[in-house]
């Protein structure tokens, strides 16, 4: 914990002035940025949102081009999409300072706020997922069942679009802040979250298909999870390179956040990729390896998001990170200060000229 006091002695009173005596406190050593106030509930919501959104996207693709042997995937994907909304929304509401006023998030739409956009994405995704889930469980032999199924098919496209946004908007929620770690690798973090959502959705669907005895569709989902996990690993390596280039990578090497990040990579990338590779090389895929890979993908998705959240909060507190990151070179070209030569005592002196000074 940072100490708000320093060693400066109290200032003596000034004769003729009635100013309040200085008690020795100052802003020295205080962070210029505030870490995020989010608890583990928000991180868990991010993982659930990615899984449910990814499952809904997979269900949409399978519905558009899959055969009758993949109908179980469509039903499970639609159900997971709805379940993710029913579980994730209460997690967000519980993390608010005033949970009973959660509806205020939907009163105004701000296109510049990822949080506002995310509130409407979550609401739309929940509505479309409910429509698709109703169609998935409606009986086919009745008139009303066919009508509900037709409505579900109409809602499947919007559900896929909002599902894709569910896998990525939480990354924008982080990278849209001034936190050095999050803002230094905006694109690669978005790819990490999106690939993790697809991999987690495929892993969850694979577990459902294995439990139902549909090994063929489960094997296809495992291959999709393998490709998405490999993409996430590549994006993770790119993010780490960006952290190093921006000099905010120290938090990943000397703190508990760094150990959590390493554990997330082992659980979320190393274990699933190894299990999928062994199954690909084996003459007969192992059920145990497939289930271990799926569970590692799901657990690793949460751990990855939590590690990025915790590490970002640490860079918001360390002055060496946020002061080194907040440099003029990160400004848009039109807003960067320019150095103009001036002469003082016969020597050229460089003075920083801000954009507004050019019109003075």
pLDDT at 5: 45
Band (pLDDT 50/70/90 cuts) for residue 178 is confident
Mean pLDDT of 11-22: 52
Single out the residue of 159, 239, 169, 156 nearest to residue 197, CA to CA: 169
Q: Higher model confidence: residue 352 or residue 133?
A: 133
What digits encode the pLDDT tens for the residues 280-295? 998 888 999 999 999 9
Structure tokens at 270: 């190393």
Band (pLDDT 50/70/90 cuts) for residue 114 is confident
What digits encode the pLDDT tens for the residues 301-328? 999 999 999 999 988 887 777 777 777 6
pLDDT beyond 50 at 258? yes
Q: What percent of the chain is predicted at pLDDT more than 70?
A: 82
Band (pLDDT 50/70/90 cuts) for residue 354 is very low
Mean pLDDT of 268-282: 94
**CA distance linking residue 202 with residue 222, whole number of Å:** 7
Residue 268 carries which DSSP code?
A: I
pLDDT at 353: 47
Q: In whole numbers, what is the pLDDT of the chain averaged over residues?
A: 84
- Whole-model pTM? 0.81
Kindly report the number of other CB atoms within 10 A of residue 214's CB atom. 20
Band (pLDDT 50/70/90 cuts) for residue 166 is very high
Residue 319 CA from chain centroid, whole number: 24
Q: Higher model confidence: residue 320 or residue 211?
A: 211
Mean pLDDT is highest, among 64-73, 97-106, 138-147, 277-286, for: 277-286
Helices (H), the chain: 40-65, 71-95, 114-137, 143-175, 180-184, 186-211, 215-245, 256-265, 271-281, 287-317, 319-325
Band (pLDDT 50/70/90 cuts) for residue 249 is confident
């Amino acid at each position: 914990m940072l100490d708000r006091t320093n060693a400066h002695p109290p200032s003596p009173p000034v004769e003729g002035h009635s100013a309040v005596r200085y008690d020795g406190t100052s802003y020295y050593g205080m962070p210029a940025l505030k870490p995020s106030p989010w608890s583990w509930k928000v991180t868990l919501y991010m993982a659930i949102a990615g899984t449910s959104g990814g499952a809904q996207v997979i269900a949409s693709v399978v519905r558009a081009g899959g055969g009758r042997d993949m109908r179980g995937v469509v039903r499970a994907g639609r159900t997971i999409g709805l379940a993710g909304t029913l579980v994730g929304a209460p997690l967000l509401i519980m993390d608010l300072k005033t949970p009973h006023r959660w509806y205020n998030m939907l009163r105004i739409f701000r296109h510049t706020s990822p949080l506002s956009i995310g509130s409407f994405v979550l609401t739309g995704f929940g509505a479309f997922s409910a429509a698709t889930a109703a169609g998935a469980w409606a009986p086919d032999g009745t008139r009303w069942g066919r009508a509900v199924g037709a409505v579900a098919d109409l809602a499947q496209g919007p559900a896929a679009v909002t599902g894709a946004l569910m896998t990525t908007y939480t990354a924008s929620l982080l990278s849209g802040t001034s936190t050095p770690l999050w803002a230094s690798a905006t694109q690669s973090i978005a790819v990490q979250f999106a690939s993790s959502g697809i991999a987690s959705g495929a892993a969850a669907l694979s577990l459902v298909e294995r439990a139902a005895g549909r090994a063929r569709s489960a094997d296809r989902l495992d291959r999709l999870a393998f490709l998405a996990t490999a993409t996430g690993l590549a994006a993770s390596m790119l993010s780490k390179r960006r952290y190093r280039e921006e000099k905010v990578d120290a938090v990943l090497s000397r703190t508990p956040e760094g150990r959590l990040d390493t554990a997330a990579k082992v659980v979320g990338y190393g274990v699933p990729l190894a299990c999928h590779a062994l199954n690909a090389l084996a003459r007969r895929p192992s059920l145990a390896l497939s289930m271990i890979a799926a569970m590692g993908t799901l657990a690793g998705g949460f751990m990855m998001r939590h590690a990025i959240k915790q590490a970002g909060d640490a860079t918001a507190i360390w002055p060496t990170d946020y002061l080194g990151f907040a440099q003029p070179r990160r400004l848009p070209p039109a807003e960067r200060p320019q150095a103009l030569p001036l002469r003082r005592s016969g020597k050229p002196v460089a003075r920083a000229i801000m954009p507004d000074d050019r019109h003075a």
